[in-house]
Structure 1
Amino acid sequence: MEYTSKDLEKWCSIIEPMAKELGLDFYPQEFEIVSYTDMIAYEAYVGMPSRYPHWSFGKSYERTKSLYKYNLTGLPYEMVINSNPCLAYLMKDNTLLLQILTMAHVYGHNDFFKNNRLFKEGTRASYTIEMFKNDADIIRGYVNDPSIGYDEVEKFLNAAHAIRLQTNRTIGMKHSKDENKLEKEWKDDILQFIMNEGELNEWQKNVLNIVRRETAYFIPQIETKIMNEGWASYWHYKILHKLNLPDSLYLEFIKRHNDVITPYIGSINPYHLGFKIFEDLEKKYGLNKIFEVRLLERDESFIRRYLTEDLCYELNLFQYGKEKNEYVVQNISDDTGWLEIRNTLCKNCGMGMIPNIVISEVSKNDNTLILKHIFEGRELDSIYMEATLKYVYDLWGHPVQLNTKIDKSDMKIYCDNDKKISYTNLGEN
């Protein structure tokens, strides 16, 4: 069905007051219609109109473009920015129904950004676009500075990106002014520790600070992926049911919605899991409860509190793992296995997916930075571990040591001044 921008404006003027009537509370909403090539670019830059230059963004663009060209992946129907006003991109190749559905979906995300406590405490929506633009300008200034140049900036960004998620996981925590407490807080934040204790030039400190604050912006999104997508899917479903769509659009709506929340084979579809939990909560407790949950929870607590035995069974969730040389089903959603499944989901969502590395101490003998892996049963990938230790060396400028576990034994992995890696087995503990 052909449509114009006037048609989209008309539907938006219907959807927005309906979203308010249903109880959603959101920032002013702006939509931009973009081509598929624009959408690929925005996806590479995580939706930001302006982002500092780095080869990883170009790599992401070329990879997505190639996969899309050969029909090996689709593109997002929309992309929404946690900003005030909220900015969303709609792909112009979408059908009219798909634009209607995605606009309703966007208002769900917008409400979540404005009201979920992780976003309220951890981000400044009114400053988002300005922050990313200012950061881009600063980085480009260093790239164009003859005394620094692109190669030095890229090398430093590579190292910073490697450990950007090794930061404080308590969103919204304010740093203490007490120096003793401050030192303890920095031990959970490697970038902050190196900024304060490392031998860095001013521009290098500024680059680390940029990477650190932009990472802080994305952490609430990492921590609430299932909730956020489930919430937006729940509300697009509810809003479109109230629109009295003509039959030609309604049939496509049912198909598109089912495409969004279809379970994945062998993994979790966050849209599906979040949608089903919110749907279950509304049936049991009413709308007030789901607004309370949207306000307070993150994915880990959301799943632990509200993924029940009955829901596990209904969703036919199971857990598989590697035993010897093959993968086998280890737990199914019965009266005992469902708890293991729920616990595994909790451990593998949000920042739980990221190994937790903290500062242990700095050796007084040779200034070695000693790191500790908070071991939770999952070993580090040796290839990534060794490469990351070398990146930490690039930032710290002195040897780096990591204490972790491999095959149940305590191990010391050491990166020396030549960036050579050595392993020392300390025995089982």
Structure 2
Amino acid sequence: MTNWTLRDLEYWDEKIREKVAEIGLDCYPQEFEVCDQNAMLGYMAYHGMPSHYPHWSFGKAFEQTKTMYDHGVSGLPYEMVINSNPALAYLMRDNSLCLQILTIAHVYGHNDFFKNNFTFKTTDAGETIASFKARADRVRGYIEDPSIGAEAVELFLDAAHALSFNRSRNLAIRKLKPAEQRARLLDAARPPADAFAGLHKRVEATHPDLTKEPLEPEADLLLFIRDHNRDLADWQRDLLTIVDEEARYFLPQIETKIMNEGWASHWHHRIMTSLDLPQDLHLEFLVRHNQVICPHPGGLNPYHVGFMVWRDIEKRFGGEGSKEALAKLMEVREVERDVSFLRRFLTEELCRELDLFTWKPRGEHLVVSEVSDEEHWSDVKNALLKQIGTGSMPVIRIHDANYRGRRGLYLVHEHDGRDLDMTHADKTLNHLKTLWGHEVYLLTYVRGKKTLMSVTDAGFDAKLVS
């Protein structure tokens, strides 16, 4: 049984919105939906969306999460909030009144971040819900089409899902269209304006690379395949568009997890301590807040790290309540993502206070490699920067779409000292072959040696090359 009514939630929501306005947070209109545990499990499986296209992986996620929850292995989130306009958040019906108030305050922090951080400005928040529903309707249409069917759609989506984040990671950087790339390359090769007539034809004749695809290494794998695999059916091209659009929606959340959760935690703490809560609610709030931002032994709690960094920024740029500190906080939340945020503001003192360290395998065990002391803290910080956001995902770019003259897809792994997992590489190249329809080759390094991996009709292979 809950100890609150909807009228209680409306009352505290109004109080919190007053505090949000006093602080100067800039939010979308906010809507809340109260749901039970089964509904929350469903929203979790569908990544928070009230409407999503069907796929077996979502059902698997639902059953897995439900089983773990039923057996007490894991709990459910206090809330989920969607980057939309108006913003939509779900509140768990079984939460106590204190937890509902804290959650509502936390949601407004996320809302402000969604509306103002630059990474989220590459999608239209006002179209979020409608776009997900429209994509769901299109996929269901293909499933129900007797000439296509559920099996063909699911197999194609399997491959597309596996490659969905092999794309440009910084969405704020505008990608040049092929015509613009060609013009830039031509300009780089251009002699004086009056040197000779027919410049473009002569340059293209003597620079065959200007006419191949891609003109420059291509990171957007799904979109390149969509645009250049002439054997795809229209429904397959549309599925690639759908998967890429949804990856584009979720990518900013991956790239700003620490900032976003830290920002919401920073402001829910400020709001809750200013609400003049009854003593019993205040005491419960202190316990709940500490549970949210406490460090995770052996792991990284993004709420904890983000909260500590935001609080340190506030302290260093004027202190709580100062106009200078607030202006700095608002500036940082608008122009950074996790990698740049931590590169700029994770100091030596914070690394020590957060007790950050690196580890490495030794036999069957993991042992501490470096700790955040005066000598090694920057190494620990750099190791962290490689792991956050999409940093743990390898960067692979298409360099040639007619490799060896038989439409082979040739890719290069941008090796950063971390070798690819061979099992994952095998599966990834097979997914690429499914979508491309022809042989796939990937150049990388394995244990310091240049290696060409491939998937052909004969299967997966890896060979050392000179």
TM-score category, normalised to shorter length: over 0.9
Are 1:205 and 2:237 counterparts?
Answer: yes
- Aligned partner of 1:331 among 363, 367, 370: 370
The aligned counterpart of 1:416 is 456
Aligned pairs (5 A) from 1:225-240: 225-240=257-272
Letter of the 2:340 counterpart: S
Aligned pairs (5 A) from 1:5-404: 5-120=6-121, 122-179=122-179, 181=181, 183-184=214-215, 187-198=218-229, 199-285=231-317, 286-323=325-362, 325-362=364-401, 363-404=403-444
Letter of the 2:398 counterpart: I
Larger Rg: 2
Is the Cα contact below 8 Å between 1:303 and 1:345 reproduced in 2? Answer: no
**What secondary structure is seen at the aligned counterpart in 2 of 1:84?**
coil
Task: Give 1:230 shift.
Answer: 0.3
Is the Cα contact below 8 Å between 1:313 and 1:334 reproduced in 2? Answer: yes
Task: Give 1:217 shift.
Answer: 0.6
Task: Give 1:175 shift.
Answer: 3.9
**What secondary structure is seen at the aligned counterpart in 2 of 1:64?**
helix
Identity %: 48
Task: Give 1:265 shift.
Answer: 1.0
Q: 1:396 to 1:178 in 2, by over 3 A?
A: closer
Letter of the 2:279 counterpart: D
| Separation in 1, partners of 2:180, 2:228 | 14
Letter of the 1:98 counterpart: L
Task: Give 1:131 shift.
Answer: 0.6
**What secondary structure is seen at the aligned counterpart in 2 of 1:371?**
strand
Task: Give 1:325 shift.
Answer: 4.8
Q: 1:407 to 1:153 in 2, by over 3 A?
A: same
| Separation in 2, partners of 1:186, 1:380 | 19
Deviations 1:356-388 (A, max 9, x none): 111021215221101111111111111111111
Q: 1:331 to 1:186 in 2, by over 3 A?
A: closer
Task: Give 1:104 shift.
Answer: 0.1
Task: Give 1:324 shift.
Answer: 5.0
**What secondary structure is seen at the aligned counterpart in 2 of 1:160?**
helix
Q: 1:50 to 1:256 in 2, by over 3 A?
A: same
More off after superposition, 171-180 vs 109-118: 171-180
Task: Give 1:176 shift.
Answer: 3.0
The aligned counterpart of 2:203 is none
> What 5-or-longer segments of structure 1 have no aligned partner?
none
Is the Cα contact below 8 Å between 1:186 and 1:192 reproduced in 2? Answer: no
Is the Cα contact below 8 Å between 1:186 and 1:193 reproduced in 2? Answer: no
Is the Cα contact below 8 Å between 2:217 and 2:399 reproduced in 1? Answer: no
**What secondary structure is seen at the aligned counterpart in 2 of 1:301?**
helix
Is the Cα contact below 8 Å between 2:33 and 2:89 reproduced in 1? Answer: yes
Task: Give 1:184 shift.
Answer: 4.0
| Separation in 2, partners of 1:10, 1:295 | 30
| Separation in 1, partners of 2:298, 2:369 | 13
Letter of the 2:305 counterpart: L
| Separation in 2, partners of 1:91, 1:185 | 48
Is the Cα contact below 8 Å between 1:360 and 1:371 reproduced in 2? Answer: yes
More off after superposition, 183-192 vs 269-278: 183-192
> What 5-or-longer segments of structure 2 have no aligned partner?
183-213, 318-324
Deviations 1:183-229 (A, max 9, x none): 44671111111011112111110000010111001110010000000
**What secondary structure is seen at the aligned counterpart in 2 of 1:424?**
strand
Is the Cα contact below 8 Å between 2:338 and 2:388 reproduced in 1? Answer: yes
| Separation in 2, partners of 1:324, 1:3 | 53
Question: Between Structure 1 and Structure 2, how many residues are aligned?
Answer: 425
Letter of the 1:167 counterpart: R
Letter of the 1:256 counterpart: R
Letter of the 1:283 counterpart: K
Letter of the 1:305 counterpart: R
Letter of the 2:345 counterpart: Y
Letter of the 1:317 counterpart: L
TM-score (norm 1): 0.97
Is the Cα contact below 8 Å between 1:48 and 1:81 reproduced in 2? Answer: yes
Deviations 1:274-304 (A, max 9, x none): 0000001111102211111101100001111
**What secondary structure is seen at the aligned counterpart in 1 of 2:465?**
strand
Is the Cα contact below 8 Å between 2:118 and 2:172 reproduced in 1? Answer: no
Is the Cα contact below 8 Å between 2:80 and 2:89 reproduced in 1? Answer: yes
